[in-house]
Structure 1
């Protein structure tokens, strides 16, 4: 393919719903950084490319939906097809031509591949209503494909991010001829998009502009200086978040609807999969995500729910791969991500892996050699793949580190608190201040941050807004694999604010690696569906249990760094701490938050780490 086609494919693979991953202010730039890089190949491999095989094209195929709307498909078929074949399809809002390379590949490897524009996008009829149209449309596409003369009735799907969401929603509707799915980096509405922990990000309007109208808008989507300028305009002028569509110049009813549902209410819950629907699943599934995948939360929400509610037979044929990749890397792995460099083992041929899976589940072929057990995960730093029977069995020990400090001094990386194996006794609490009118953080966000996972500017520039804790150096190389958990006892003098916490490895040479992070909006500390404002001065337990999965061998001599602060960034919906509607907040609503973090015998703030011994 030419470089333009490769770049377009890669950009579309980058289009995460978390996109700019709002798990921490450091990660907010991931998408913008990615878009600035040079084009990458659809698959990195040392193998000599196979000579192309002839194929046939069916252009402008119209697929009727139950309500009379017709969706447009471009169908790729092997030229020498004599008998009906299994069919792979992708349902995309990103215009079908963007995935020509994938369709071309699979059509040359024994499959019919159909790229279908979602309704209201590309050449499809109807109006695009993100998320809500896909369950029924996905079902109808499966059953229509199954009836075509070039189909043998076995239908599957391909794709990640929005197309991963499509796969789960189609499966929810239980079409008879859906034989398997391979959901990659799957967004989960209400869990990781368009908000995470009920906190919206500025990226939402970037994505909605990308998918506005019927044409592809990837050039505007990738124009990061424009988006930084508009996000800064909202931030520096203290404009309410709900006006971001106006600031961008793209008034969006969809955006206004989203921000009117700031909690996981019935609006978002209608896009979930019910326990009975998980129990009805009977087809094989291959879930793929990455340690730095912006939609990892969505992927694991589906996976864990299926493990909780699914039948034993169905769970036995649900496989999980967790690479070291970012969002785009879950489809096109790269050795370099955000300033980190992974080993050769991290590069999987994803097209071949998909083909092997399809051959096994649709053509009675051999089980993919890579799938040695039901869970495969990559250990960063040691550059190896490891395997487990279940997600929970990856780690076999828990190390608990308790937060503490000397005389309440923990406000920067130099004068930090500590994390130790022993519980503190009569330890004084730590304090910090978050002033929503403080605009100094914007000076850190005038341009893209090219090494987002190793850059330390946020940890080194808290501006008094946050506390920092370091562990002792590790006595030996130690594998941490799984989900961290932080319990922090906190009091404040405002009815609401947002918290962000990020965990790093600080190597012996002083360099930093971001490992994982989590957020909490205080009013949703007990439930994401029901708000409960904070009583000023009351000490509450905040359980950060939404950290992303990571697997890394922490080096001998490295320390862990934990940063806890209140988000104050151009990339996040600002909480002005008033207790009112956050999306409507402006400077006149601002209340300065004085935060107290307790870590004494009665309030043992602690970090729990999943250890592999």
Structure 2
């Protein structure tokens, strides 16, 4: 209440805002970028917050801009280079470091500025803020960034297991690189396009340089390390408020950036909520209830009040996270929360785990007798994506905790389900799966999903992961696979905080595709980006005391 009162007092004191439309801001190379400048009214010099966007600056100070204006901040919203009203050529992310520096420096020189600037933004604008921080403009004092991440390889293009984030990348490319007047390409046509290297033609009608470069660098090589914000942020760290979502594809990188800022000795606070790529907006299927959702924007205002205006005490450097299932908010001084113990649940079955009709189980001990689960994966009939951490068009590919029973009815999906819980089980941290696998293909994928099964049978996806077999030893280089050889692989499903309630069961789905969230492995062993041919793969997952395939959960003590 005290904070709300302070906001209302500030709004009354600053009076009517003043807007300067389409202000031209010169960059070091002479290109002019266009911005709208919103001033809170009254007299004096203001702290300023800057948003740099490729999606078009707003014509009215609505939403989050109003929150900052009411709190007494000047707000500058700028079209990035080559977008909307700004000059120059748009090159995804490459120009944001220098242009961010020049824009912050311009703000600091204005008569209405007190030379204390913060940057904020979700998604691309958040990435632009991270990039600007790398350039160390003297006036930039704090950041408030949401669903943005800090690594171009792992966030924007590839997964921790080396598979391409196909749906997200192709749709974003189509929406942002299609020439004016040309209809946006059909989504299904784009994701089915082969070879992948020329999917830019299907998506936009022309060559897109960033797409071709990504296709030419499928491993994490020097091309990607040179573009990584996370690798460099330790030398340019600023106080940062970071907002992430359990169903946002940038979650892991957001957590990584929070941890890096903390290790650099700077204040950092993180908010992780039960949303996707739109912080503060509840899931469209209404799965989560419980406590009211906090306002991520007001948390950012409070952050800037502490580090730009010094009118509030600095919020504690903690992680505030939503415990799904229990539907309650918790705080932890670290991530993962102290006390999380990695606890295995072992894959088992008597007759076979293929589909919901099988008898696959998750057990506390490895099976006494060795066994093997088999299925055939064909890229022409890939298992479809249903929910999960997708971005960013709900109508095309709905995200969130959707029911998996339709996918689980397929014979190329292995389904392992625990006994119904008698007591609540809380997990918080990184979920992993360790599988012992083989294939008759020279390269293939293995996928996993963690699912919460309700008493009525509804099977909600919590998170998922994928591993491309050629990257089983890491992303920096490929490791040839000999067909028929049994390999131990580890698949990261991602971070989570969730309570399995009494009467619910824990489920792990194992397959070889999750399309179009990830590209289909064509199973030939040749480069994915130029391949047109595809072949089926005979897959096997082994389970025994010697080959203990398992789901590994971060169980909180007492949970």
> How many Å separate the matches in 1 of 2:183 and 2:536?
37
Say if 1:249 and 1:398 are closer, same or farther in 2 by CA, change over 3 A. closer
Q: Name the residue aligned to 1:230.
A: 189
Q: Point out where structure 2 has 5 or more consecutive residues left out of the alignment.
A: 1-7, 388-394
> How many Å separate the matches in 2 of 1:473 and 1:442?
26
1:194 equivalenced with 2:157 (yes/no): yes
SS in 1 for 2:452: strand
Per the TM alignment, residue 457 of structure 1 is displaced from its structure 2 partner at its CA by: 4.6
Q: Name the residue aligned to 1:553.
A: 499
SS in 2 for 1:391: coil
Q: Name the residue aligned to 2:332.
A: 388
Q: Name the residue aligned to 1:515.
A: 462
Per the TM alignment, residue 516 of structure 1 is displaced from its structure 2 partner at its CA by: 1.0
Say if 1:340 and 1:196 are closer, same or farther in 2 by CA, change over 3 A. same
Asked if structure 2 preserves the Cα contact closer than 8 Å seen for 1:474 and 1:558, the reply is: yes
SS in 1 for 2:153: coil
Task: Identify which of 401, 408, 413 aligns with 1:453.
Answer: 401
Per the TM alignment, residue 220 of structure 1 is displaced from its structure 2 partner at its CA by: 6.4
> How many Å separate the matches in 2 of 1:443 and 1:287?
28
Per the TM alignment, residue 162 of structure 1 is displaced from its structure 2 partner at its CA by: 1.0
Cα shift readout 1:4-33 (whole Å, capped 9, x = no counterpart): xxxxxxxxxxxxxxxxxxxxxxxxxxxxxx
Per the TM alignment, residue 139 of structure 1 is displaced from its structure 2 partner at its CA by: 1.8
SS in 1 for 2:72: coil
Query: What TM-score, normalized by structure 1, do the two folds share?
Result: 0.81
Q: Name the residue aligned to 1:157.
A: 119
Q: Name the residue aligned to 2:433.
A: 486
SS in 2 for 1:190: helix
Asked if structure 1 preserves the Cα contact closer than 8 Å seen for 2:291 and 2:329, the reply is: no
> How many Å separate the matches in 2 of 1:158 and 1:243?
34
Cα shift readout 1:305-346 (whole Å, capped 9, x = no counterpart): 444xx33x32xx111111111111x1xx2333445233242x
Q: Name the residue aligned to 2:272.
A: 322
> How many Å separate the matches in 2 of 1:449 and 1:253?
23
Query: What TM-score, normalized by structure 2, do the two folds share?
Result: 0.89
SS in 2 for 1:341: coil
Following superposition, which runs of at least 4 residues in structure 1 exceed 4 angstroms of deviation? 50-53, 439-444, 447-452
Per the TM alignment, residue 568 of structure 1 is displaced from its structure 2 partner at its CA by: 5.7
Per the TM alignment, residue 450 of structure 1 is displaced from its structure 2 partner at its CA by: 5.5
Q: Name the residue aligned to 2:3.
A: none
Q: Name the residue aligned to 2:44.
A: 83
Say if 1:98 and 1:230 are closer, same or farther in 2 by CA, change over 3 A. farther
Say if 1:451 and 1:414 are closer, same or farther in 2 by CA, change over 3 A. farther
Asked if structure 1 preserves the Cα contact closer than 8 Å seen for 2:404 and 2:461, the reply is: no
Q: Name the residue aligned to 1:44.
A: none
Say if 1:88 and 1:249 are closer, same or farther in 2 by CA, change over 3 A. closer
1:286 equivalenced with 2:249 (yes/no): no
> How many Å separate the matches in 1 of 2:442 and 2:41?
66
Q: Name the residue aligned to 1:498.
A: 445
Q: Name the residue aligned to 1:379.
A: 323
User: 1:318-397 maps to which residues of 2 (within 5 A)?
Assistant: 318-328=268-278, 330=279, 333-345=280-292, 347-367=293-313, 371=315, 374-397=318-341
1:304 equivalenced with 2:259 (yes/no): yes
Count residues in correspondence.
Answer: 535
> How many Å separate the matches in 2 of 1:443 and 1:110?
44
Q: Name the residue aligned to 1:120.
A: 82
User: 1:168-179 maps to which residues of 2 (within 5 A)?
Assistant: 168-179=130-141
Higher RCO (Cα < 8 Å, 6 or more apart) = 1
> How many Å separate the matches in 2 of 1:382 and 1:442?
26
Q: Name the residue aligned to 1:42.
A: none
> How many Å separate the matches in 1 of 2:386 and 2:154?
30
Per the TM alignment, residue 424 of structure 1 is displaced from its structure 2 partner at its CA by: 2.3
Say if 1:92 and 1:249 are closer, same or farther in 2 by CA, change over 3 A. closer
Q: Point out where structure 1 has 5 or more consecutive residues left out of the alignment.
A: 1-46
Cα shift readout 1:430-486 (whole Å, capped 9, x = no counterpart): 111112233785999xx8565752222543332x32311111211201211221111
Q: Name the residue aligned to 2:358.
A: 415
Asked if structure 2 preserves the Cα contact closer than 8 Å seen for 1:85 and 1:111, the reply is: yes
Per the TM alignment, residue 53 of structure 1 is displaced from its structure 2 partner at its CA by: 4.7
Q: Name the residue aligned to 1:252.
A: 207
RMSD of aligned alpha carbons: 2.7
State which drifts further: 373-382 or 486-495: 373-382
Task: Identify which of 403, 412, 418 aligns with 1:465.
Answer: 412
> How many Å separate the matches in 1 of 2:462 and 2:306?
35
Cα shift readout 1:150-185 (whole Å, capped 9, x = no counterpart): 111111111111112112222222222110101111
State which drifts further: 353-362 or 395-404: 395-404
State which drifts further: 90-99 or 512-521: 90-99
Q: Name the residue aligned to 2:375.
A: 432
> How many Å separate the matches in 2 of 1:568 and 1:324?
22
Per the TM alignment, residue 92 of structure 1 is displaced from its structure 2 partner at its CA by: 0.7
Task: Identify which of 216, 227, 236 aligns with 1:271.
Answer: 227
SS in 1 for 2:306: helix
Cα shift readout 1:496-536 (whole Å, capped 9, x = no counterpart): 11222110000112112211111111111111121112111
Say if 1:442 and 1:180 are closer, same or farther in 2 by CA, change over 3 A. closer
Q: Name the residue aligned to 1:210.
A: 175
SS in 1 for 2:355: coil
